[in-house]
Chain A
Amino acid sequence: MSTLLRWTGLDKLISFYRYFAFNGPRVTTASGVVLLLGVAAIRLYWLAGGFPLPAYPAYLAGYFALLAAAAVLASVGMVAGRRPGLVWVGWMVGSLVSAASLAMYLASRTGGLPGLPQLVGWWDYPLGTFAMALAALFVGVHVTVLTGMNVAYPHRRQWHD
């Protein structure tokens, strides 16, 4: 595999990210928390009557509640500065929540969800697009943390030169 990457020159493209390193742990964490709370807030809004359909199956309400709760808990974990292990778990749960929300949204618009055939192909919904963007951005920010391009609170750069 690595030979193939080298031969195609893709290894240089993939390792390009190593040229980027930023030192803004608080900004990184704040961005992650805002994005994740945005993901949660939209689900809570839908749960509180903002969902564009007059009626929807109970499992969807359960999913919204679970997703919002998990996102809020993950956000709390991400700022638990004294417990770096918990911070790591917070980011991971945040990414899982974001990925799940993206997958569910895409599934509802493509294959369809049980009891919700009317959502298939309904892309004309700004809040839904916005929710997808928030989730995708959260995963993006987390990837930058995992690759070392960014550091998240409470970690700091130990640059000496």
Chain B
Amino acid sequence: MTQLDYPAWLRIEHWVNVLFVTLLIRSGIEILSTHPKLYWRNDSKPGTEWARLTRKTMLTDKLYDTLDEEESYSAILSLPGHKMLGMGRHWHFITVIGWILVGIAYYILLFATGQWHRYIPYSWSIFPQAWNDTLTYLSFKLPAPLPGQPLDAVQKLTYAGVIFILAPFLILTGAAQSPAVEARFPWYVRLWGGRQGARSLHFLGLLAFIAFIAVHLMMIGLWGWPQLTALMIFGEARHLGWALTASLVIIAAIVLVHIAATQWSLRSPRTVQRALGSVLIPARRLILRPLASAQHYSSSQLSAEHRVNGKPPDSDDYKIMAVHNFVDWKLEVGGLVENPMTFTLAELRALGEKQTQRVLHNCVQGWSSIGEWSGVPFREVVNMVKPLPQARHVCFLTMQDTGRDEPSAEGSGQFYEIIDLPLAYYPQCLLAYEMNGHPLPIKHGAPLRLRIENQVGFKMAKWIERIEFVSTCQGIGQGMGGWREDNVYYDREVEI
């Protein structure tokens, strides 16, 4: 049998894993803080959460939105803290790419070198042995390792559980929260009990990981920190004094990386957005972009109530238009097109056959709901206006003035979002003027909003007044691809 020692690759992967797991935990807590409530049902109905990790309560005599509910956690707990979801998402997703690659390499090396014997049991006798070991621990004693192996039976089973069950579980429940994955494979999200089931299980997986780390550290303390860290640094139990020092240096280096990432994100979020985005954007385009929505939920699955992220335009012009049922509203479609056009709501309604889709809505903050949206497929409008060859993106300009309408968000100015032109041709890319069989409600974007079912909600601009075809995002706002990307450093390709 392979000697179950500590080869260099195993030691390196261990410490890289410490860095990645801690980055994932802190950035994950940042993402959690943006909607610190956990549910089991897809509708995220207010009051039905099984856990809330916030002290905020909302007044219900005025429309509140989920930006009001956002918590600001300390940077000690979350990366980077201070209500910076955009930064948290960048760190979480860049780290998970690294974590998955390291994990794949780890699996391959484990099986290629025979080191899998250290984790995977191959005899039922391990269970009675693990019971005996548990009794030994309860006697305040340490059990002996399995013969010829580095771990005792309980440890072996625990490591196997963490490496081969818990880590994949976290990746799979994470993937189940991607709107693109949910849109293309609705059965997959059902497998986890729905979008909120996946989110809650992802959170419970986090707690399990934290518990594992706490017990792991305690065990190392009990079994002998210098000896065990010597094994994980030098590969054998020698130079114990140096091992102790080196372990502290490595931990300090990991802490320094955390501090650097936090400070960089807080002081210069734009450069973080650009640097990490240069990896994340192509990765998502490659892996998630091809996933087009194929969702057809039944009408019995519709959510009775939908939360909102963003408040309606608080202007007299909008209110007067609304009270006249938007007969004076006009949609201008122009920019880099052969045939600029203007549509009234009645003209849009008369345009081709009305398309209806019952789909799962994913807010970037983590809540969800199932709604029925009806309107005109965006590709029909695109085909009418005929984009010029140089048109690459579509900009949706809205009537929302964020500084006036949304005090809970940083930044100000007219809200806009930009999508890549190919998304306009996706089958469920819709200009929606109805929701659940009624005219689109004001709080959900009346008279017209965008639906792109493989993206998170903030891309689906509400209260649209103009659509412009452009060749580049440069020169529009800060040039990052949308108001949220410009002002709160959200990531641009939001298939997850």
Chains A and B form a bound pair: yes
Choose from B47, B134, B140 the contact partner of A124 (Cβ within 8 Å).
Answer: B140
B47 touches A161 (CB 8 A): yes
**Number of A-B contacts defined by CB within 8 Å:** 49
Please judge, given known A-B contacts A20-B53, A159-B52, whether A129 and B139 are in contact too, CB under 8 Å: yes
A159 touches B54 (CB 8 A): no
Contacts of B139 in A (CB 8 A): 123-126, 129
Which of A21-29, A40-48, A50-58, A73-81 makes up part of the contact surface? A21-29
B140 touches A21 (CB 8 A): no
B141 touches A161 (CB 8 A): no
Choose from B51, B52, B140 the contact partner of A129 (Cβ within 8 Å).
Answer: B140
Main secondary structure of the interface of A (DSSP, over half): loop
B140 touches A19 (CB 8 A): no
| Contact-residue bracket for chain B | 20 to 34
Choose from A19, A125, A129 the contact partner of B54 (Cβ within 8 Å).
Answer: A19
A159 touches B55 (CB 8 A): no
A129 touches B53 (CB 8 A): no
- Shortest A70–chain B CB gap in Å is 25
Let me know if B60 is at the binding interface, CB within 8 A.
yes
Let me know if A82 is at the binding interface, CB within 8 A.
no
A126 touches B138 (CB 8 A): yes
Main secondary structure of the interface of B (DSSP, over half): loop
Instruction: State A159–B58 Cα separation when bound (angstroms).
Output: 10
Let me know if A155 is at the binding interface, CB within 8 A.
no
Contacts of A129 in B (CB 8 A): 138-140
Let me know if A157 is at the binding interface, CB within 8 A.
yes
Let me know if B217 is at the binding interface, CB within 8 A.
no
The residue on B at minimum CB distance from A23 is: B50
Contacts of A126 in B (CB 8 A): 134-135, 138-139
Per-residue CB proximity of A75-112 to B under 8 Å, as 1/0? 00000000000000000000000000000000000000
Let me know if A6 is at the binding interface, CB within 8 A.
no
Per-residue CB proximity of B62-103 to A under 8 Å, as 1/0? 001000010100000000000000000000000000000000
B49 touches A19 (CB 8 A): no
The residue on A at minimum CB distance from B54 is: A19
Assuming A124-B139, A127-B138, A160-B46, what are 12 further A-B pairs, CB within 8 angstroms? A19-B36, A19-B71, A23-B49, A24-B50, A124-B140, A126-B134, A126-B135, A129-B139, A159-B49, A160-B58, A160-B60, A161-B58
